[in-house]
Every structure is written in structure tokens, then in C-alpha cells.
Amino acid sequence: MSQARRRFQELHRSGCFVLPNPWDVGGARRLEARGFKALASSSAAAAWSLGRADQQISLDEALAHLRMLCGATGLPVNADFEAGFADGPDGVGRNVGLAIETGVAGLSIEDRTGAALYDQALAVERIAAARAAIEASGEAVVLVARSEGFLIGQTDLAATIVRLQAYAEAGADCLYAPGVRELSAIREIVSAVAPKPVNVLLGTTDGSVAEIAETGARRVSVGGHLAALAWRAFDQATDMLLETGRLPPRG
């Protein structure tokens, strides 16, 4: 566990790496066998695997999911820890401590509650509480602060950058604004929070991994995209079974 956490910290120091997001043991092991250097959970993929929508799993279910993923692989695992499963800083800190016990090498905390952002002052306090919990654990866990405005229609880049800078000052190791599409905007974010690393969500952003790397971003994750593709293929195959009595070829 300690070795995985050290490797994860080292990955953030230079270059750009890809964090695919599995949702079960088989997926984690297949991704490790294909040569990825780290993995991340996906709250959406975890929820879908339980027949629910995103944001509809409990803290206990999220912790069990993280234990499963960390137990399945020797790679560092970054937790999509939603909004910390609490509104207040004390609750966030307590739950971050529980997440660390699952074996994760990193975890993200969002600044959104439902369809709205937390007040910025409270959002900063929540990141500071997560930082304090990590320090209290004595473990080298990477804290990722997510600003969710672009995912809920609040697409003011300047306002997002102000939040990310505040989270960096509160102790976040890595900054993340999912939903930012333009590569030029990603460059602005990278410059604004430097030297701290930036994570980018592939699929909602223009460009390939190589083009994102050129912006200076350190990490590229895929969120629920792999899971969505898998479920789409499942639906297409079962539709074909119902309509034609046949299945598509496996290979």
C-alpha cells in the first residue's frame, strides 16, 4: 500500500499519465495487465453496477467498492469520493479518514451538492478538513479538489479558476474541473494553479491524451465513459437477441 502511494505521488511530478476507471475486479485486473500505471474509481460506474444512477450510493457502499478495487490490483487507486458524503467539514474529514483505510492512493472531493455549488468559503473549509484528515493519518494520499461548475452549467472559467486556486491554498495536491472542453481553457487552469498538477476528464474535452498533455496537465481520467460504452454494448447485444434471436460475434 505504501509503495503504491509513493508511486502515485511520483506520477504527479512530471509527464502525463492516464487513469482509466474500472468498476469491478475483472476490469481492474485487465487494465493492470494492459500496462496502465494507476486506476481511478468512478462514482457513476459504481452506481450503475448496482442498478442505480450516479450520486445514489451510500458511504458504506462507496467504501466497500474502494476496498474491492484496491484489493484487486497492485496499482495505485484514486477514489472518486463524490462530495465526501457529508456537507460539513467535520463529516468530510471523518469520511476521508475512512476512505484512506480502504487503501486508496488518492481521493477527490467535489464542491457540488445536487445541482448547486457549495458556497466557496464552505467549499474551502471542506478541502482543508480533507487535508487535515490525510495529515492525521500519516499516509501519503493525494488530495484532488474538484470544481464542478462546468458540469452544472456554471461555465465561468475565471470563477472556476478562483475556486481551484483557493482549494490549492487549502491543501489540495491536484486540481480538477471536469467538463472544461477547450484546450486553451485547460492551459489557463494549468498556469493558474502551477506548480500543482491538473487532472482532465477525457471525453468531455477537445483533443486526445497527447494534446491534453501538451497543455501541461499531469493526469487524464475517463470517468464513467468505459462503463457507459460497456453498458451500451450490452444493450445493443440484448436488443439484437430480442429482435433477431441472435447475438453479435464475440471477437
CATH of the domain at 203: 3.20.20.60
Q: Which amino acid is at 190?
A: V
Give the separation between CA 160 and CA 95, rounded to whole angstroms. Answer: 25
- 3-class DSSP state of 39: strand
Model confidence over 194-242: pLDDT tens digits? 999 999 999 888 899 999 999 999 999 999 999 999 999 999 999 999 9
Please check whether residue 173 lies inside any domain of the structure: yes
The radius of gyration of the chain's CA atoms, rounded to the nearest angstrom, is: 18
Inter-residue contact 215 to 187 (CB < 8 Å): yes
Inter-residue contact 141 to 6 (CB < 8 Å): no
Give the separation between CA 155 and CA 148, rounded to whole angstroms. Answer: 9
Give the separation between CA 165 and CA 63, rounded to whole angstroms. Answer: 29
Residue 210, H or E segment? helix 209-214
Average pLDDT over the chain reads 97
Model confidence over 76-135: pLDDT tens digits? 999 999 999 999 999 999 999 999 999 999 999 999 999 999 999 999 999 999 999 999
Please check whether residue 239 lies inside any domain of the structure: no
Give the separation between CA 41 and CA 61, rounded to whole angstroms. Answer: 13
Q: Of 72, 96, 101, give the one whose Cα is nearest residue 85.
A: 96
Q: How confident is the model at residue 1 (pLDDT cuts 50, 70, 90)?
A: confident
pTM: 0.95
Exposure string over 232-244, b if 16+ CB within 10 A, otherwise e: eeeeeeeeeeeee
How high is the pLDDT of residue 251?
77
Please check whether residue 212 lies inside any domain of the structure: yes
- 3-class DSSP state of 66: helix
Please check whether residue 237 lies inside any domain of the structure: no
Q: Which domain holds residue 67?
A: 2-223
What DSSP character marks residue 14? S
Please check whether residue 242 lies inside any domain of the structure: no
Please check whether residue 247 lies inside any domain of the structure: no
Please check whether residue 245 lies inside any domain of the structure: no
Please check whether residue 248 lies inside any domain of the structure: no
Model confidence over 52-84: pLDDT tens digits? 999 899 999 999 999 999 999 999 999 999 999
DSSP string computed for 110-178: E-EETTEEPPHHHHHHHHHHHHHHHHHHT--PEEEEE--GGGGT---HHHHHHHHHHHHHTT-SEEE-T
Model confidence over 8-67: pLDDT tens digits? 999 999 999 999 999 999 999 999 999 999 999 999 999 999 999 998 999 999 999 999
Domain total of the chain: 1
Tell me, rounded to whole angstroms, the distance of Cα 30 from its chain centroid: 19
Mean pLDDT of 180-193: 98
Has residue 137 got a pLDDT over 90? yes
